[in-house]
Structure 1
Amino acid sequence: MKSLSIRIDEELLHKLYIVTDYEGRSANSQILILIRKCVEEYEARHGKIEL
């Protein structure tokens, strides 16, 4: 696993914590779900990303 550090506005971070509490997930898990969804949508439109 790699680590990724992001800069995030304090208000947005607090809102993220509200969403993650509601979903019963950690902020890290929620962000991974959103990243996976983003990649899936991209690949659906543009084809599989080959690494």
Structure 2
Amino acid sequence: MATDKRQFTLRLQEENFLKIKFLADKDRRSIAMEIEYILEQYVAEYECKHGKINLEGAE
């Protein structure tokens, strides 16, 4: 199954990992999908306060 998602390594403190795992299990998501959800929520909150992030020229 092909995906357009970029892979990268993420190192977490054990306590943070276990808390995210708890949330993922509660929401019936994989840990990766829970992290993606958390990041999407953070970005949406940031953009709500500061305006849309301009990705032009970003890579």
The structure with the largest helix share of the pair is: 1
Output the aligned Cα RMSD. Answer: 1.2
AA at the equivalent of 1:9: Q
Residue equivalent to 1:21: 25
Unmatched runs of 5 consecutive residues or more in structure 2: none
Share of identical aligned residues, percent? 33
Q: Give the conservation status (yes or no) of the 8 Å contact 2:20–2:31.
A: yes
TM-score where L is the length of structure 1: 0.81
Stretches of 4+ moved more than 2 A in 1?
Answer: none
Distance 2:14 2:43 in 1: 26
Aligned residue-pair number:
51
